[in-house]
Amino acid sequence: MTSPGTTTVDVVVFGAGAGGMTAALVCALHGLDVLLCEKSGQVGGTTATSAGTIWVPGTRQARDAGMNDTIADASRYLGAIIGAADDRREIYLNTAADAVEYLDRNTDVKFSIYAKHPDYLANCPGSTIAGRALAPLPFDGRLLGRDFKRLRPPIGEFMALGGMMISRDDIDPLTRPFASLASFKKAASLVWRHALDRLLYSRGTRLLMGNALAARLFYSLRRNNVPVWLSTSLHDLVTDGTGVCGAVAQVNGEPRGIVARRGVILATGGFGGSIERLNEHVRPGLAHALAFAGAEGDGMRTAAAVGAAIELDHESPVFWTPVSDTRWLEGGRGAYPHLALDRSKPGLIAVNAAGRRFVDEAVSYHDFVLAMHRSHETTPTIPAWLVCDRAFIEKYGLGRIPPGARGWSWAVRNGYLVEAGTIDALAGKIAVDAAGLRSSIDQNNRSADTGEDETFGKGSTEFDRNNGDPENKPNPCIGRIEARPYYAMPVYPSTLGSSIGLKADADGRVLGANGKPIAGLYACGNDMASIMRGTYPGPGITLGPALVFGYRAAVAIAAGKG
């Protein structure tokens, strides 16, 4: 992991997230001399803390599972959400499955299909309930040996027992181990494995989700002897009059020139980790950023300095998620993302300062925050309040409080959760209108009885119902709020990453202001403007394109497309 003496390579890649590691790996597999540079002391970036899902239509995995999704339907679905397609989007749809298959055949990067994972805007034409979302297979971190410590860990908010990764399927056996013999066996197995891990490692080595994806990419890089320089940031790009021919990096704080004979690939993660950069593009200003803190716009900054064009006309400049504040949590990032585990469950509503609901609480995390912003234009909705009762938390948990918890007085003491014996008292503690809150809860309870949310249609889509409780009737997403005491948790807008970014073609070649490629300069991941243009059609719409355009950039360089 030390910097080698030579600084001349065929290709230098900046950023060791999914896009950058894929690009470097494919370059190496095509026989190119490639160097991967990572700003921080660990690889993985935002990928390592993500769910790890990729949105890729038309894969072999889907066909093998008997799913009949088509590229034409996927194109129709995206067209209904984003509008007319451009070349990048159509080429993505038609070649993404090939990229996934290439990685499956030639590397340790492996995926499986979700049995059910609906598109997020399930009422749009062309949507599916399964077939496009793939999950990385779990990975044994022990295979990395000493390099395990060089893999960025998940956020503490998603780990248990001081460093054990848990999946959605692990939650029930771990919180209710005595519910059945199967639950006990699984819980005992997980805890025993983790106990053994902690004798040798700083955290558990059973890697899941985005951490497994990052680990699989890193493991494949090591097996292909790709040099990785850590603590190496991009300072400037170097041009020779015809295009980009290298870069100036800061290696452990010292400047180092890197000559790139074939190209420079920018994969520094966009600007989603920088509150300062984010607040140049979003209003009202943010206090939380969930993306990797090292994603500060280095790729966009250096590319703009050599004439690159930046695509700004997206529906949203960033991808959103609501978060609760966990700065009290040791080892955490300070924010728990409320993705799907609580908002969609029956017996919870989200309200603004008027005590009124403003959204179908079960919509995607991105659309939930967009609704927060719309509501905030007329009524304070930052923070919004998730309101429920004792029975809800006992059964489903809330934020960092897991389901089946025996108590959560600690959460009340540190202000993470607000508790009150009556609705009026709760309204007073969170400074929302008491009459409005009473009315919202009364309406929710009537909807729970009828099964219909006449205001926002909660539970009316496949996406909503997939994340609800199928045992709750008549609507899996609506339940009564009536078991005292009552609770409220504030949630705030945060970002999963940036959408706007460098203009590029379907091979990742960065375009100048004249619309032509800048020779020798490529981008992928969040450095490249998203083909989703600030919309969030389904799970994995950032990681899917990151892998695919990282792959395409490497193939283009190997083929001499400069």
At residue 212, the pLDDT reads 97
First to last CA, the chain: 29
Of the pLDDT bands very low, low, confident and very high (cuts 50, 70, 90), residue 173 is confident
DSSP one-letter string for 294-347: T-SSHHHHHHHHTTB-EE---S-SEEEEEEEE-TTSTTS-SEEE-SSTTTTSTT
Closest CA to 81 of 486, 89, 448, 413: 89
Same domain, 245 and 192: no
Residues 198 and 256 in one domain: no
- Interatomic CA distance for residues 369 and 404, integer angstroms: 28
Residue 186: the pLDDT is 79
Instruction: Quote the CA–CA distance of 103 and 33 in Å, as a whole number.
Output: 19
In a domain, 101, yes or no: yes
Statement to judge: residues 524 and 407 lie in one domain: no
pTM of the model as a whole: 0.94
Residue 285 falls within a domain, yes or no?
no
pLDDT at 159: 72
Share of the chain above pLDDT 90, in %: 83
Query: CA torsion sign, 354 to 356 to 361 to 367?
Result: negative
* 169-183, 189-203, 275-289, 442-456, range with greatest mean pLDDT: 442-456
* CATH for 44: 3.50.50.60
User: Angle at Cα 522 formed by Cα 518 and Cα 524, nearest 5°?
Assistant: 145
How much is the average pLDDT of 204-224? Answer: 96
In a domain, 111, yes or no: yes
Query: Same structural domain for residues 77 and 219?
Result: yes
| Residue 296 belongs to a domain | no
d(CA 180, CA 187): 11
Is 291 among the domain residues? no
Is 280 inside a domain boundary? no
Q: State the angle between helix axes of 18-29 and 209-223 in degrees (0 to 180), rounded to the nearest 10.
A: 30
**Locus of tokens 């090591």:** 222
CATH code, domain carrying 377: 3.90.700.10
Looking at the fold, whether 340 and 196 belong to one and the same domain comes out as: no
Q: Which two tokens stand for residue 57?
A: 């239509």
From 207, 231, 247, the end of a domain falls on 207
Q: Are residues 414 and 535 in the same domain?
A: no
Boundaries of domain holding 171: 152-207
Tokens of 497: 């990453």
**Residues 87 and 230 occupy one common structural domain:** yes
Does residue 155 have a pLDDT over 90?
Answer: no
Q: What is the pLDDT of residues 267-325, one digit of tens each?
A: 999 999 999 999 999 988 888 888 899 999 999 999 999 999 999 999 999 999 999 99
Please indicate, yes or no, whether residues 118 and 187 belong to a single structural domain of this protein.
Answer: no
Q: Which residue has the tokens 């295009």?
A: 243
**Mean pLDDT over each residue of the chain, to the nearest integer:** 94
The mean pLDDT of 254-260, rounded to a whole number, is 95
Whether 300 is covered by a domain: the verdict is no
Instruction: Using alpha carbons, list the distances in angstroms from residue 551 to 17, 24, 99, 180.
Output: 13, 9, 7, 45
Residues with Cβ within 8 Å of residue 327, at least 6 apart in sequence? 334
The CA distance from 256 to 234, in Å, is 10
**How many other β-carbons are positioned within 10 Å of the β-carbon of residue 196?**
12
Q: Residue 444 — φ and ψ, nearest 5°?
A: -60, -40
Residue 352 sits at the vertex; the CA angle it makes with 351 and 357, to the nearest 5 degrees, is: 40
Indicate the residue type of 102: Y
CA–CA distance, 295 with 19 (Å, rounded to integer): 13
Residue 340 pLDDT > 90: no
Task: Report, as an integer, the average pLDDT of 86-110.
Answer: 97
Q: How confident is the model at residue 6 (pLDDT cuts 50, 70, 90)?
A: low
**Same domain membership, residue 237 and residue 173:** no
Query: Which of 502, 497, 34 lies closest to 303 in space, CA to CA?
Result: 502
What is the predicted pLDDT for the residue at 2? Answer: 38
Q: Which of 187, 207, 227 is the last residue of a domain?
A: 207
* Total domains in the fold of the chain: 3
Average pLDDT (411-418) is: 96
Element (H, E) at 276: helix 275-278
Mean pLDDT of 399-424: 93
Residue finishing a domain among 495, 521, 539: 495
| Within a domain: 97 | yes
User: What integer pLDDT is reported at residue 3 of this predicted model?
Assistant: 43
Would you say 561 and 76 are in contact if contact means Cβ atoms under 8 Å apart? no
What tokens were used for 156? 């503490």
How much is the average pLDDT of 408-420?
96
- What integer pLDDT is reported at residue 4 of this predicted model? 45
* Per-residue pLDDT at 1: 41
The Cα–Cα gap between 304 and 330 comes to 38
Pair (364, 470) in one structural domain: yes
Distances from the Cα of 329 to the Cα of 290, 334, 336, 344, 466, angstroms? 15, 7, 10, 25, 30
* Mean pLDDT across 51-62: 97
Q: What tens digit of pLDDT does each residue of 496-516 get?
A: 999 999 999 999 999 999 999
Residues 93 and 40 in one domain: yes
Say yes or no: 258 and 117 in one domain.
yes
